[in-house]
Each structure stands twice: as C-alpha cells, then as structure tokens.
Structure 1
Amino acid sequence: MSTSPSVSQGAPSHLDVLESEAVHIFREVAGEFERPVILFSGGKDSILMLHLALKAFAPAPVPFPLLHVDTGHNFPEVLAYRDRVVDAHGLTLHVASVQDYLDRGVLKERPDGTRNPLQTLPLTEKIRHERFDAVFGGGRRDEEKARAKERVFSLRDEFSQWDPRRQRPELWQLYNGRHAPGEHVRVFPLSNWTELDVWQYIARERVALPSIYFAHRREVFSRDGMWLTAGEWGGPKDGETPQKRQVRYRTVGDMSCTGAVDSDAETLEQVIAEIAASRLTERGATRADDKMSEAAMEDRKREGYF
C-alpha cells in the first residue's frame, strides 16, 4: 500500500475529491475521539479504508487498531491477506470470534448455515469491552437502501443500536461526534463512494487485493441463483452439484451467503469495465443475507450490525 499523496495536474478529479473527504474524516475522528478502531476484514472496502488511513497520517503510523469479526466461515485467501497486511504495517488486530460464542452456547447455528447475522453480538460486545468510541466501517450509500439512509457519523446508543430518527445534519462537512457515556459513533468515510469509484481508485493507487476479486477457476455450486463455494457451513446439499467455473467475487463476506459471479476479468482494467456495464449493485447480485427480507439490512443495523 502506497502512503504517498497523489499528485494531480490542474483541477482535482472526482477521485481526488473523494480521497480528500475521507482523509479529512479520519483526521477529524483522530482529533475528536479517544478510542477509535477500524473494522478490517481483508475485503476491498476495508482495504481501501486502511490505505486512506495510512495516507491521512503518513509518515506517522495509523493511530488506531483494527477489528475483525471472524465468522469462522471466511474465505482462506482473505484471512491470509488480512494477516499479511497487519504484519506489514505493524498494526494491532482485535478479533471477535463468532465460533467462541457458539462454543459457549451464547449463539446457535442457523438452519441455513449462514453466520453473517450472528456477527452482531460479538461485534457489539467487543466494542463495549474495549471501550471503542468511534468505529470505522466501509459501508457505502450505493450498496443498499438502508445504508443510503445513514450519515457519515452515525450515532449508536448504549446497546449499539441505530435509530434513524437520531440522524444528525452534516452540512459543509461538519460532523457531530457528541455522544453520551456508553454510546459510540459508527463512521463511514466511504459513504459517498460507488463500487466503480472504489475500483478506479484501487487501480490508480495500485492497491494490492486478495486474488479472490479476480477471475479464477473455482469449484462452486448453484443455490438460489448464486454460485457458492463448498464448505463446512453446509453446502452443497443433495441435488446441488459442484462444478468448476471461471468466477470472481465482487464482495466478500461469510462463505455461506456470498456468491461469485461468472467473469473473465483477470485485471483491474477488466474488472472496471465489467462493473461499469453492470446494472446490479454488488450486494444485490451476490449477497444472500440481504435477500432474507425487504428490510433485512435495516433490521440488522437497528440491532447493532454495520
């Protein structure tokens, strides 16, 4: 990851403007909060957030630790990338494990095998235990309609719950981080980015990504119109025949609910061209957990999920 500022000729590009806004948000949080943390999974949005944080504080180190909620069903390629980045930059990584909660009987496996909805309790308890008062997330408004409602600084109550009625105005990039003891603020520096912006910026900055984001041969099976990877989470079932296909992932989450897309895009330029032609958001196309109901994401956000 490069930490040197980009150099532009003439008027700033839209990517320069987005970068400047995100860097401003990171610095604002550093000055206003005592114990911020960056959610980092090894997915592209969290990778981009960390790259921007490195830029915001260079040549000093990033003054925040990282936090990953590990479902136990993560893609191995992504976990390996996460650990390499943490080591390369000398960062502190906190891990909240869904498996620990299952082993203790606090949580129970779902019949469908997906653990994404089970992340909320480990996340919120880790926030309380470590007394994090600002939590950076990689959510973007273009991903899903519930995320489109949220401000850059999003207040959470003492139970980590989100109430849309408590949204605060954010005029002229003025952010209100005021919160009562026990409350915290979720911070979304990528709010105004689109999926295409993310990929164009990654290409411009030459940010390394896990190989899973590029087309590769993989054994998958079809379920509910998505190509899923086999695993201990419960797939494939009877009648679901694995097959080798050329696929890539647009977004990365729990293996049980994150689908691959057929693709020949092996380079950044090819991925950008593919996304520019797409009419489906990455979550709409490949995330089964968002299809549980019309209000699936908003319901989970109200409970404390990102």
Structure 2
Amino acid sequence: MTTLIPDPRPAVAATTPPPADPPDLLDMLESEALHIIREVVGELERPVMLFSGGKDSVVMLHLAAKALWPAPVPFPVLHVDTGHNFPEVLAFRDAAVEHYGVQLHVASVQDYLDDGRLRERSDGTRNPLQTLPLLDAIEVHRFDAVFGGGRRDEDKARAKERIVSLRNSFGHWDPKNQRPELWHLYNTRRRPGEHVRVFPLSNWTELDVWRYIAREDIALPSLYYAHERSVLERDGMLLSPGDWAELRDGEEPSVRTVRYRTVGDMSCTGAVASTAGDVEAVIAEVAATTITERGATRADDRLSEAAMEDRKKEGYF
C-alpha cells in the first residue's frame, strides 16, 4: 500500500493576502499636488497663487484648502486682469475668494495702458501684456513663490518646465538652466530678488482635471458648459464679439451653442461648438478630442511656433 506523506510546507493560499487594487490615478495626482503645496508653504515665506477663476486655478485653490486643512489657506491669490475677461468668470472669481476666505490682489493691465507703461497691440489681444503687471506685483509684494496652474499637456514650452521652476531677479526663465527633481525632491532655494514658479498640476491632463472636478464636485463658471452665445468666426475660431476689434469684411456674429475649454482674454480665447451641458458630458467630449485646449482655442499661442516659450522666458506664466 502507498503511504501518503503530508506536505510540510504551509498552505500558501491561507497566508498570502489577496492582491491589492492598483492605486487610483486621481488619488496619486492629488497626493503629489498636496505634497508640493505643503512643501512650498513650509519652505518659503511669501507664496501667492495665481487665480483667474478658470478651471485649473479653481482646482488648485481647492487642493490648497485640502492640503492645509483645518488651517485656512495662509497665502493670498493674484489675478492679472486684462480688462477683457469674461464677466461670468470675474463674478465667479469674487465668489470663490469669499468662499475660501483668501485675500485677492488684482494686477490690472488697464492701469498700465492708462498711464502709458503699456500700449495696446494692433491685434487687440491683451494676453501678452500681462507679463509686466505680473512681475511688478511679485516685486511690490515680495512674493518668493508663485503657484500657477500650468500643465505639461497644454503646450511644448510648459512641458519643459520643472514643477518648481526658478526665475531670476528679472523674472526671466531659462529653459536650459533647470534643476533635477528626482524622488519628488524639490529645490526651492533662491537668491535675493529671485522667485520660484510652482506648478502642482504639471502631471495632470485636461481629462484628469475634469475627472477630479467631477469626483470632488467642484463648482466652475457657467461658460465651461454648453450655452447659447453670440460668436463670430475668425481665423477658424469662435470669438465673442467685443469692442477690442472692429468686425472684418464678411464677419457677422451669430448665436451658437458653445462652451469654453479654457478662459482668458476674450479677444483671443475661442469657444468650441458643443452640447456638453454637464460635467459627465464634458468628460466624454474631452476624452474624444485630439487637440489640446490651448491649441484649439487660444489665438495668442498661434502667433509663432514658439509663442508660449518666448513669453515664458520674459516672465509670463
């Protein structure tokens, strides 16, 4: 008769835990952004957050409140106002500032035009005129860190940025002189007069931002969702009519159902034809698109192949 000898090894199934679920991408992105915000607030004395009321800056302020809870957000927000901003966005900006209990600084391009420090451009757009008011506000308030909502998927120049990016005493950026960021270690050291730009959303995509907005139930200005608006078609873009430019021959405004993927100066920010009236519909629309929001809707980035990089070198965000 054959004798069966018991296997002396322990039963693997009884001691090995089931495989863990893979980490959620939004959890990972959120954790990284919270870490960046906490590091900068802990290391630097006078940070500020750029806040226009647009979706990326709204998500960034939400993250700041979450990162530092239960303490209030300990730094102010700064808006560089071109004077051509969407009224809906300005109203939302003011409501958000009140909701989060933060101080708002406004650097006005119009003030610089009124006193001659800047001149209007022939094309009517004021986005490129934001650099000088921004740099002056940083100097006047002695900000040593400026949080911005730039993401690497938006533009080739923004893809070159480090998460913590040094600006020299003139506010200029040198894309060839950047610091390594291995193992989530960020170098915030600077000399007097210098400051750092900090991009907590660097590794996010437009789709990530919208999925996070849905998950966190974050409110946004209404023009991010489909609505009827008078627009004119110019250079392949749907622009809101305004007093910044005369109508060209053949241009006739018409009422269309549109939404905005990004918000900025009305003279160079285009709408897209869309029926996406809620966040889930927007997510489905963004998931199917093959063009970034800046590539599709920002005329100022079409000025040249390196338009964004040239402005960033001069101090633009």
Instruction: Calculate the TM-score normalised by the size of structure 1.
Output: 0.96
- Partner SS for 1:285: helix
1:207, CA displacement in angstroms? 0.1
Q: 1:210 aligns with which of 211, 221, 225?
A: 221
Distance 1:167 1:150 in 2: 8
RMSD (CA atoms):
1.0
Distance 1:25 1:285 in 2: 30
- Partner SS for 1:241: coil
* Equivalent residue, structure 2, for 1:169: 180
- On the 8 A contact 1:229/1:235 being kept in 2, the answer is no
Distance 1:133 1:235 in 2: 41
1:44, CA displacement in angstroms? 0.3
Q: 2:202 aligns with which of 191, 207, 211?
A: 191
The residue type paired with residue 289 of structure 2 is S
Residues 27-63 of structure 1: CA distance to partner in whole angstroms, max 9, x if unpaired? 0001110000000000000000000001001111001
Distance 2:214 2:100 in 1: 21
Written as runs of structure 1 = structure 2, the 5 A alignment for 1:100-119 is 100-119=111-130
In the alignment, structure 1 residue 268 sits paired with structure 2 residue 279: yes
* Equivalent residue, structure 2, for 1:59: 70
Uncovered stretches (5+) of structure 1, i.e. residues with no partner: 1-8
Residues 198-237 of structure 1: CA distance to partner in whole angstroms, max 9, x if unpaired? 0000000000000000000000000000000011211533
Q: 2:37 aligns with which of 16, 26, 29?
A: 26
* Equivalent residue, structure 2, for 1:259: 270
1:128, CA displacement in angstroms? 0.5
Distance 1:108 1:287 in 2: 21
- On the 8 A contact 1:236/1:242 being kept in 2, the answer is no
User: When the two structures are aligned, how many residues end up with a matched partner?
Assistant: 298
- Partner SS for 1:290: helix
Residues 86-138 of structure 1: CA distance to partner in whole angstroms, max 9, x if unpaired? 11222100000000000001100001100000000000010011000000000
Written as runs of structure 1 = structure 2, the 5 A alignment for 1:62-77 is 62-77=73-88
- Partner SS for 1:164: coil
Report % sequence identity.
Answer: 72
| Higher Cα Rg, which structure | 2
Written as runs of structure 1 = structure 2, the 5 A alignment for 1:262-301 is 262-301=273-312
In the alignment, structure 1 residue 303 sits paired with structure 2 residue 314: yes
1:82, CA displacement in angstroms? 0.1
1:238, CA displacement in angstroms? 3.6
Distance 2:136 2:247 in 1: 33
In the alignment, structure 1 residue 152 sits paired with structure 2 residue 163: yes
Q: 1:250 aligns with which of 257, 261, 267?
A: 261
* Equivalent residue, structure 1, for 2:5: none
The residue type paired with residue 120 of structure 1 is T
In the alignment, structure 1 residue 44 sits paired with structure 2 residue 55: yes
Residues 235-266 of structure 1: CA distance to partner in whole angstroms, max 9, x if unpaired? 53342100000000000110000000000000
1:12, CA displacement in angstroms? 3.1
1:11, CA displacement in angstroms? 4.5
* Equivalent residue, structure 2, for 1:6: none
* Equivalent residue, structure 1, for 2:147: 136
